[in-house]
Structure 1
Amino acid sequence: MHFLNNIRLRNKMFLVYFLGVIAPIILTNAIFYNIITENVKEQRINDIDRAVEQIKNEFQLMVDQGVGLSSFFYADYKTNEVLNMNFTHTEDYVEAYDLYLRSILNNYSPFSSSLQNKTIYVDNPTLLNSGNIGILSDEVREEAWYKLWLKDASSQPVFVRIEDPEGQFQSFSLLRRMDYFADRMAKEKLIKLDFKTIDIMEIFSNLNVKGDMYLLSPGDRIEYTTNRAIDWQANTKHLYSSLKSDNLIQFEKGYGSISYLRGWKVVGTINEHEIIKEELKSRYFIVWSGCVMMIFPTIIILIITRSINVRIIEILKHMKKVKTQNFQMINYGEARDEIGQLTLEFNNMIMQIKTLINDVYMTAIQKKSLELERRKAQLNALQSQINPHFLFNALETIRMRSLLKHEKETAKMIQSMAMILRSSLTWNKEWVTVEEELGFIMCFLEIQKYRFEDKLKYHVEVEPEARACVIPKMVFLPFVENASIHGIEPLKKGGRIDIRIGIEEDFVVFSVKDNGIGMNGKLVSRLYDYLKAEELIGDRIGIQNVIYRGKMLYGDRIVFEVHSRPGEGTRIVLKIPSNP
C-alpha cells in the first residue's frame, strides 16, 4: 500500500470517487434498467389488452341494446296483432297506428341511443309503408341484405354489415324474424335495426390503443377498421390475414358462444416500436436520474477536494517563500479543520519571525516617525490658535462710523454680520439653544431683507417649549440660507419664507418653506443621498455639512424630508432628538 503515498492527493480523491460512487451507480442503474424495462413492457401490453377488452365489451353492449329492442317487438303481442290485421280502409290502419304503434316505435328510448333507424317489415299490403313500418314487398326481398339474412333466417337476431348494390357500405344492422306468434299470426314479419356508424367509430377510437383496431366478421373479413390505409367502406373486401406483419403485436378478442355475434372478432394491433417508445422513456428517466446522482456527488467531491488541495498548495508556496526571506502570511480566513489549524500555526510562526525582525530593525524608525508626528501636531495647534479678534474690531469700527453718519440700517446689518461671524468662529461652543439659533436666523434674514428689500418676506413661528431645547450650533441656518439664495433670489417678483420650530414627541421639528423656483427630482435625490454617504466631510459646506454633522451626533435618529417640485417651491423638514 506504500504506492498510494506517491499519488497526489487530488488523484486519490478522484480514485475514491470513481470506486465509491461512479462504479456502484453504473452497476445499480444497469440492474434497475433491466428490471424496469421488463415491467414497463409487461404493463404496457396489459394496458392495451384491457383497452381491447373494453372495446369488445362496449361493442357487445351496443349490439345487446339492439337485441333487447328486437326482443321486445318479437314478444309484444299487441304489436304483432296490429301488424297482422287486414285493414279495409287506410283510416282504420292510421287509427290503430296512432293508438299503439306510434308511441311504441317512436318513444321506446331505453335501447334506442345507438340506433340510426328501426323498421319492421311486414308481408301485409294493407299497411302504409311509413312511420318505421315497411311493406315486405318483392322489391325488398330482392335487396342484398334480405338475401344475406335469408341464408340464415331464424328467430334469433343476426348482426350483419349491409351494403348497397355497388358493394358500398350502408350500415351495420341487426335482423330478426318476428315469428313468436307464428301459430296464430301467419303474416311474415321482419325487424331491421340500423346502428349509428359514428357510435361504432367512437367505440373503436380508444386513445389507450396507439395502433389499429379491426372488427372482423366470420371468415376474418375486415368490416370496420381505424387503419386509414384501408378503405373499409369500399366494395373491395380485405382479409385480416393479408395484413399480418412480424413487427405487429396482436390482441384478439372473440365473442364465443354469443349466437348473434358468433364468429365476429375485435382485434387490436400495435407496432412493437410503440412498446419500445415506452421502454425508451424509462431508459431516459434512468439515464437522467443516474446523471443527477453522479453530478451532485461530483460537485460535492470537487468542492471538498478543492478545499483541501488548494489550501495545502498555498501552504507549500508560502513555505518556499520563507526560504527567500519573504515572510508573507496566508490570507484564507479562519478554518477549524486540520488544514486550517496548520495555516494558523504557520501564520503565527511568520508573525513571530516578523516581530523579531521589527524589534531589531524598526524600533529606531518608529521613534523618528513619532517625533515627526508630534512636531506636526504642535504646528497645527499653533496655527489653530490664531485669534480673529482684529476682524471683530474692524467690523465694530465700521459700525460706529455708520452710526456717526446716521446710517442706522447699515450699522444694524454690520452688527448682524458680526454676530454670525463670531458664532461661526467660536468652535469651543458646539451646542446652543433653539433661542440662540433663532437669533442667528433672524440676523441672516435681516441681512437678506436689507439686500432684497421688498422682494423677500418671511414669517417665523416658534413654540415656547422649543426655545430652551439644546441643538447643534448652526444646524437650522443653512436651510434658511438655501431657501433665500437658491429658492427666492432667482425670482424677479420676490418670494416668501415660512419658518416653524416646534416639539413633536421627543423631537425638535424644524421646517422651512419657500415659494421659490423649487427643485427637480435629480436635485432632491442628491439631497437624500447625503444621508447614505459614509465618507469624511472634507471641504463640504451648507446642507451637506448639516446632514453629515447630524449623522455623527444622532446616527439613525435624525429625520430629513424634502418636498419640492419645479415652479412650486420647496419645503424641508428636519427632525432631531430634543435630548442629545
Structure 2
Amino acid sequence: MKTSSINKKLFIIILVFVCLPISILGLIWYETSTKTIEQEAIQSNQKLIQQTNEYLDLYISNLENSTYPFVNNPQIQHFINSKSLSDYDYFILAENIEKDLFSQMIYGRQDIAGISLVGKNNMQINDYTRVKELLNMEEIRKRNIDLLQTTDKLDNFNIIGLHQIGSMPILTITRKIHSNISYLYEGLLIIDINLNQISNISKNLLTGKSKVYILDYKGQIIYHSDKKLLGSTFSREIMNKYLNKTSNAFLTNLNKVKKYIIYEHSHVTDWILVAEIPRDQIISNLIQLRTETILLGIIILIVAMAVIGGFSLSITKSLSYLQRLMRKVESGDLNMEISSIQDRKDEIGGVFKSFFKMVSELRRLYEEIQISKLREHELELKQKESTLQAMQSQINPHFLYNTLEIINSHAIVENNQLISKIATSLAHMFRYNLGNAKQVVTLEKEISHIRSYLEIQCARFRHLYVDFQIDEKELAAIGTIRLTLQPLIENAFLHGYQNHKMKPTYIGIHGEKQSSYFVLRIQDKGKGMDPATMEDYNRAFENKEIIPMPGQRKSIGLWNVHQRIRLVFGPPYGLLIKHSSTETGTLIELKLPYIEGEEQCIESC
C-alpha cells in the first residue's frame, strides 16, 4: 500500500470494504433464500400431489364399490351358472342385464365407455352404446376372452391398464364374479372407462410449464398432459428411481432444462403420480427480487465511486497530468506547450517550473545528437542487411537436409512419430526431386519416393486410404523415368477430389506383370473425367509419334508424363486412361519396360 498510488489505494479500499462485503452477503442471501423458497415450493407441491393422489384413490375406490351389486345379482348368477341357453333365453337374459344393471351404471357415470360380462361358459354381454363411433366388436370379444383366461392371476378387483377402443384411449378394470353354486370364479366383469375424470383430477397440478403424468407399476403412462405420450413406457432405470421411496422429490436435467420431479405412490392402485416442475417456475419471483437487488447495489456502488472518485480527482489531477507529460518525455516527445499550472504558488507549481526547464534543456541536447544517431542507425541497418544476405547464401539443399534431420531427431526424442515420419519423408522427397528429371530409374526407387509423398498426404488427409498391391520383388527389374508417378497422383488429388470440394478418401496403386511389359494402375474414387476429355487423351496417347496434344488443355501433367516415357522407351510404353466415371473415379494405366541386364547403366541413361 505504501508504494501504491492514491487512486489505487482508494480503489482497493472501495473494493475490500464495500464491494466485497456486499457481494459475499448477497451471495449468502441468494443461496439461503433460494434453498428456502425451493423447499417451501416443493413441500407445497408435494401436499398438492398427495391431495390429488387421494382424489384418484377415492375415484377408483368409488368405481370399485359400484361393481359390488354385480357380484350376487340373481341375473348375473343365472348368466354365469347356465351351461347352455337357447338363443331366445340368451337374448332375454342379456336384455334384462343391460337394462337393469348396465344402463344404470353407464348412464349414472359419465366416465364409463362400455361394459362387458363374460363367463367361462363362452357367453358374453357387451354394451358400448356410449361410444359414438363404429367399433370392431370382434376385437373386444377376443380381448374379453383373453382376460377371462388370466382370471387365476387376477385379484377380485384389478386395473388392467391402458388400451385403445376405436380412436379413444380407455382404462380397463375388471371384477371377478364367483358362482353361488360352485363358489368358483365363473365370470368376469370388464369395465372400460375414459380418461376424462382422471384428467380433470390431475389438471389441478398443471401450472405454467409443468407436466403431470401417471404411471402404473409396469411403467406404462396411464395419463399424461401431452396426449401423444399416452401408452408409452418408461425405462426400468427410471422406474427403479421412482419405486425407491413412497414419495420423493429430486432435481434433474431434462433437455438442458432443470426440473424438479415430485412423485407420490398410490397404495390403492399401485400408480405413481408424477409432476415435472421447471426450477425457474419455482424461483421466478426470487430471480426478479435478486435482479432488483443487484441493480440497486450497482446504483449505490456507482454513486459511491463517483463521489470518492471526484474527491480523488481533485487531489491527483495535477500529479496525473505531470505523470502523463513525463511519459511523453520518456517516449521521446519533447514538444509540449507550457501549462498554466506552473504559475501556481504552491509546491506543485514549483515542480512544473522545474519540469519545463528540464524539457527545454533535453530538447537542445536531443537536436545536437539526432543527426549522429541517424547516421549510426543507417550503419547498423547496412551491417544487418549484409549479415542477412550472408545467412541467405548459406541456405542450400544440404542445409535443408540437415534441418529436416534435426527436426526428425527432436521428434524422436519427444516421441512424436508423426512429425518424425513427415520430416523423414520430406527429406527423402528433396533428395529425390533434385535429381535429373530425365534420368531413368527403377520402379523400386520411384515407388519408394511416392511412398514418402503419400505418407505426407496421409498426415494431411486423415481419412485417406492408400492401397498398394505390388510385388516388391519385381520392382528392381522395371524401368521408368524419375518423377513420373507423383504428377499422376497429384492429378488425382487436384482433379479428382479438390476441384470438386471432395475429401480425398482413396488412392490405389496396383501392379500387374505381363509377358512383355509391366502394367501399373493408379486409381482414385473422386469425380471422374468427362468422356470427351478421356477420349481426347487416349487418342493422343495411342499416337506412336510424339505430337502436340489437341485442344491445348491447361492440365498438361498426364501428357508430360506420357511424353517423357515415350521419348525414352518408345512405343508401346506410356499412359492410357482405362476407365473414368463421375461416380467411381478414374483409373490410369501406365505401361513400363523390363530392364533386366541393364541395372549397371540405369542411373546414367
TM-score interval, smaller chain: 0.3 to 0.5
State the structure with more CA Rg. Answer: 1
Q: If the length of structure 1 is used for normalisation, what is the TM-score? A: 0.38
